């Protein structure tokens, strides 16, 4: 039975910075891959109905897996919902990921829900991967430098 996970973070940055980090090719390739992986965005059409294609490569082994999906709903600086399918037939099914952003006194309250996780991916491994990725995201969006 496919699994669902939910994560919650408060980041010291604006909803606009987090929203942009999810929809900017270079930013996404930098922060989304969990520890030990590099990421490459092959295609990104960041609009409702638009498609994306990405791959992660394990640095030590060189093994790679690719995935892609569709942006189902985008509300600037508030909400992102997209689907994802792995290219590997052993990871069948479609996942739905929802990102909810809300401005709070010290930054942004962010909730991530991922549903439809393939049975072959242990829930705890999915949590661990997202936790690592969200730490990378915080390092990217929290520093406030005058540019």
In a domain, 38, yes or no: yes
Q: By residue range, what is the domain housing residue 112?
A: 3-141
The answer for residues whose C-beta is within 8 angstroms of residue 114's C-beta and 6 or more apart is: 4, 5, 6, 95, 96, 97, 98, 126, 130
Query: What CATH number is given to the structural domain containing 122?
Result: 3.30.530.20
What confidence score (pLDDT) does residue 145 get? Answer: 59
Domain count, the chain: 1
**How much is the average pLDDT of 19-27?**
98
Entry field: residues in the chain: 147
Binned at pLDDT 50, 70 and 90, residue 144 comes out as confident
Q: What is the pLDDT of residues 102-115, one digit of tens each?
A: 999 999 999 999 99
Q: Side-chain half-sphere of 9: how many Cα atoms within 13 Å?
A: 21
Assess if residue 87 is contained within a domain.
yes
pLDDT of residue 95: 97
Closest CA to 37 of 8, 17, 9, 66: 66
pLDDT tens profile 43-56: 999 999 999 999 99
Pull the structure tokens for residue 124: 């705890």
pLDDT digits (tens, 9 = 90+) for 62-89: 999 999 999 999 999 999 999 999 999 9
Does the residue 91 lie in any domain? yes
Query: What pTM, to 2 d.p., does this model score?
Result: 0.94
Predicted local confidence at residue 64, as pLDDT: 96
Within-domain flag for 146:
no
């Amino acid at each position: 039975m496919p699994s669902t996970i939910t994560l919650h973070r408060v980041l010291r940055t604006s909803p606009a910075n987090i929203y942009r980090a999810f929809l900017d090719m270079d930013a996404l390739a930098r922060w989304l891959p969990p520890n030990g992986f590099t990421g490459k965005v092959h295609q990104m059409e960041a609009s409702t109905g638009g498609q994306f294609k990405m791959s992660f490569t394990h640095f030590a082994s060189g093994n790679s897996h690719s995935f892609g999906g569709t942006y189902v709903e985008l509300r600037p600086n508030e909400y992102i919902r997209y689907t994802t399918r792995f290219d590997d037939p052993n990871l069948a099914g479609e996942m739905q990921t929802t990102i909810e952003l809300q401005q709070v006194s010290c930054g942004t309250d962010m909730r991530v829900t991922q549903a439809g996780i393939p049975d072959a991916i242990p829930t705890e491994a999915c949590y661990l991967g997202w936790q690592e990725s969200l730490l990378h995201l915080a390092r990217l969006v929290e520093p406030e430098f005058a540019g």
